[in-house]
């Protein structure tokens, strides 16, 4: 996520605590927060997909290959 967007999230959070947000600012904050969370999840998933684990039998399994293609709830 772009640094400018992160700064805007922080600006809106400070303003929200200090004086409150307008309806438009509140919607902007929700959109930016959702974008930040989605970006965080994508980055975390990419990192986890690169992890290899050695099983007890000595085989090496990549977490991305083992779990990466499963849908939520499986």
Domains, the chain, in order of start with CATH, read: 3-67 (1.10.287.540)
Pairing of strands 52-54, 60-62: antiparallel
Least confident of 8-22, 36-50, 56-70: 56-70
The pTM (predicted TM-score) of the whole model is 0.72
CB 32 within 8 A of CB 18: no
Tokens of 41: 């999840």
Query: Please, which residues bridge with residue 60 across strands?
Result: 54
- Give tens-digit pLDDT for 8-42: 999 999 999 999 999 999 999 999 999 999 999 99
What does 11-68 look like in DSSP terms, one character per residue? HHHHHHHHT---HHHHHHHHHHHHHHHHHHHHHHHHHHTT-EEE-TTS-EEEHHHHHT
43: pLDDT strictly greater than 60: yes
Q: Residue 1's pLDDT is what?
A: 82
């Amino acid at each position: 996520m772009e640094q400018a967007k992160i700064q805007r999230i922080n600006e809106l959070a400070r303003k929200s605590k200090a004086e409150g947000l307008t309806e438009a600012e509140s919607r902007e904050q929700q959109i930016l927060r959702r974008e930040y969370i989605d970006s965080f999840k994508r980055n975390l998933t990419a990192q986890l997909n690169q992890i290899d684990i050695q099983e007890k039998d000595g085989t090496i399994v990549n977490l991305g290959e083992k779990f990466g293609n499963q849908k939520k709830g499986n």
